[in-house]
Amino acid sequence: MVLDRLGDSLKTSIKKLLGSALVDEKLVEEIIKDIQRALIQADVDVKLVYKLSNSIRKEIKGAKKGFSKKEQVVEVVYNSLVRLVGTKGVKIQPKGKGFTILLVGLFGSGKTTTAAKLAKFYMKRGYRVALLGLDTFRPAAMEQLEQLGMSINATVFVKKGEKKADKVVKEFAKELKKFDIVIADSAGRDALDKELVKEIKGVNKMLNPQETLLVMPADIGQNAKAQAQAFSDALKVSGVVVTRMDGTAKGGGALTSCAVTRTPVKLIGVGEKVEDIEEFEPKRFISRLLGMGDLETLLERAKESFDEEKAEDLAKKMVSGKFNLIDLREQLEGVSKMGSLSKLTSMIPGFGTAKLPKGALEVQEEKLKMFKIVMDSMTKEELERPEIINSVRIERIAGGSGTTVKDVKELLTQYRQMRKLMKGMSSGKMKKFMKQFGIKDMRDLERLM
């Protein structure tokens, strides 16, 4: 996958950061240097790299209190990179009739292929799609589009032998209005010369597209900046399509194109076949790049805050059913040592906060805090042998901790459920599970089993 190498170097920096005991200015500078090196090696424009590192530096200095310094730095780096490729809400949302998408780019960037891919993408979603061939420059271009269109059963509008793209637009304008989406494939050149600028400007004016996408191959390298700039000067680009993301290219040029055009990557091409296209999700992409979306990093952090010996001890207790509230409290303390629950869950693949109802995690976090408060009002005996906690004791505990009877009961219920789940697991499985447990709330236990 493209940018893998960039990802590897960035991951190393992030690991360095997470693994260090002290985050001081020197370390931050070191990390920034690492990131600069990684980005430049990946062909991201040098000026852009410096701009980015300056903003990272500035943001770290002015960062808000309340987070651990490490997390803050990781977050600043992460957010800066996400901003570089675009933030949320970038999906193309075709509306009404004749929603037009114009693809522009140089020779061989992947326009025609992308046009067909996009057509298939939208046809699968129930739209009526027309492909419009405006590459009047290369003789074989029309056939290529026709063939691709035929292979996916799309309607293709081409006018073979016509030399002027705007004439093609004029000819089919009326018919195109009947379609939900019109995807226009334009001509390229080896470089963006005056002729091409004039041509795409003209086409752009006539078509008046809702989306003008600049198609850039992932392997474009340092040329990206000048190219993106030229296209962006000629017409209003609304997004970037990065093709050949399946190759070995370094991909930094794509990041540069986004910065230059001030538009996000909207789609990526990941192969030669017509189905090889994906909507781009910057957060997921950068998470993957930084290795934040993988559980390994998370488990590493879990390991940091969980004492191996203690975990083993606890695992045994749980299996034998001797697990009590003292152990539970220790667990909860482990959770808070690792940072906030919402932050941790955002790092688990498939457990993004998006899936949870808004505020659910905050509620859960509050609950964990509340549980700790409840436990602080219990006697040692109650913590060790929760089974002795009867309704009289419950009332006393609620009163003493400033919580309600319902709160205390909820804690006890969750504790019992957990103990029940734990019984009968093998000690080895339990130990493995324990490491994971630190990041989950008790209800998630059931889901995990």
Ligand X SMILES: Nc1nc2c(ncn2[C@@H]2O[C@H](COP(=O)(O)OP(=O)(O)O)[C@@H](O)[C@H]2O)c(=O)[nH]1
Q: Give the residues lining the site for ligand X (CB under 6 A).
A: 105, 107-113, 188, 243-244, 246-247, 269-272, 276
> For Mg ion, what does the binding mask look like between residues 57 and 96, x meaning CB under 5 A?
----------------------------------------
In the 3-class helix/strand/coil scheme, how is the chain assigned residue by residue? CCCHHHHHHHHHHHHHHHHCCCCCHHHHHHHHHHHHHHHHHCCCCHHHHHHHHHHHHHHHHCCCCCCCHHHHHHHHHHHHHHHHHCCCCCCCCCCCCCEEEEEECCCCCCHHHHHHHHHHHHHHCCCCEEEEEECCCCCCHHHHHHHHHHHCCCEEECCCCCCCHHHHHHHHHHHHCCCCEEEEEECCCCCCCHHHHHHHHHHHHHHCCCEEEEEEECCCHHHHHHHHHHHHHHCCCCEEEEECCCCCCCCHHHHHHHHHHCCCEEEEECCCCCCCEEECCHHHHHHHHHCCCCHHHHHHHHHHHCCHHHHHHHHHHHHHCCCCHHHHHHHHHHHHHCCCHHHHHCCCCCCCHHHCCCCHHHHHHHHHHHHHHHHHCCCHHHHHCHHHCCHHHHHHHHHHHCCCHHHHHHHHHHHHHHHHHHCCCCHHHHHHHHHHHCCCCHHHHHHHC
Nearer to ligand X, 112 or 401 (CB): 112
Taking the complex as a whole, how short is the minimal distance between the CB of residue 226 and ligand X, in angstroms?
A: 18
Residues 379-418 that bind Mg ion (CB under 5 A): none
Nearer to ligand X, 32 or 220 (CB): 220
Residue 109 binds which entry of Mg ion, ligand X, none, CB below 5-8 Å type-dependent = ligand X
Closest CA to 329 of 368, 284, 272, 280: 368
Nearer to ligand X, 213 or 348 (CB): 213
Q: Which residue is nearest to ligand X (CB)?
A: 269
Taking the complex as a whole, how short is the minimal distance between the CB of residue 116 and ligand X, in angstroms?
A: 8
Taking the complex as a whole, how short is the minimal distance between the CB of residue 114 and ligand X, in angstroms?
A: 6
Nearer to Mg ion, 112 or 136 (CB): 112
Is residue 112 involved in binding Mg ion (CB under 5 A)?
yes
Nearer to ligand X, 275 or 446 (CB): 275
Phi first, then psi: give them for residue 38, nearest 5 degrees: -60, -45
Taking the complex as a whole, how short is the minimal distance between the CB of residue 244 and ligand X, in angstroms?
A: 4
Is residue 257 involved in binding Mg ion (CB under 5 A)?
no
Residue 440 binds which entry of Mg ion, ligand X, none, CB below 5-8 Å type-dependent = none
Nearer to ligand X, 148 or 332 (CB): 148
Residue 269 binds which entry of ligand X, Mg ion, none, CB below 5-8 Å type-dependent = ligand X
Contacting range for Mg ion; rule: CB under 5 A; set: 17-25, 112-120, 217-225, 439-447: 112-120
Taking the complex as a whole, how short is the minimal distance between the CB of residue 168 and Mg ion, in angstroms?
A: 14
Taking the complex as a whole, how short is the minimal distance between the CB of residue 185 and Mg ion, in angstroms?
A: 6
Residue 159 binds which entry of Mg ion, ligand X, none, CB below 5-8 Å type-dependent = none
- The upper half-sphere exposure of residue 339, i.e. CA atoms within 13 Å in the direction of its Cβ, equals 18
Taking the complex as a whole, how short is the minimal distance between the CB of residue 188 and Mg ion, in angstroms?
A: 6
Residue 276 binds which entry of Mg ion, ligand X, none, CB below 5-8 Å type-dependent = ligand X
Which two structure tokens, joined as six digits, stand for 293?
A: 């979306």
Nearer to ligand X, 138 or 396 (CB): 138
Q: Which residue is nearest to Mg ion (CB)?
A: 112
Contacting range for Mg ion; rule: CB under 5 A; set: 105-113, 388-396, 401-409, 419-427: 105-113
Taking the complex as a whole, how short is the minimal distance between the CB of residue 107 and ligand X, in angstroms?
A: 5
Binding site for Mg ion (CB under 5 A): 111-112
